[in-house]
Amino acid sequence: MLHSRGELLLMLDADGATKVNDVEELEKQIHTEFMRGNSPSSNSNSKISDIPIAAFGSRAHLEEKALASRKWYRNFLMKGFHLVVLLAAGPGIRDTQCGFKLFTRSAARKLFTNIRLKR
């Protein structure tokens, strides 16, 4: 991520749980946020890559189907994890495990600077 040169940087899990075609939805969200902060009336020449914005995918719409196909103990563990997230982060966080994220270059520089892989 730190060596990339694109304006928008996509990160996704290798498990294929999310369709790459869904990246258009994340792009729309980033462009909406960019336009919200840079109205045409302002004399701003900033590029989208200069503004720190991140968009996260969600699989929450698939939750009912997934609950039906999992073993009971996996559902129990999942609900327990969601309770921990609720207590730690507060309400409003529904999907913490979706590995589908799109960042502007500025956001990626801020978020990935201190990440180190040990292998």
| Type of residue numbered 22 | D
| Type of residue numbered 67 | L
Model confidence, pTM: 0.65
| Type of residue numbered 59 | R
Q: Where are the domains of the chain?
A: 8-112
Distance, CA of 62 to CA of 77 (rounded, Å) = 18
- pLDDT of 29-83, one tens digit each? 899 888 887 655 455 678 899 989 988 876 655 555 555 566 888 878 878 888 8
HEC sequence for 45-85: CCCHHHCCCEEECCCHHHHHHHHHHCCHHHHHHHHHHHHHH
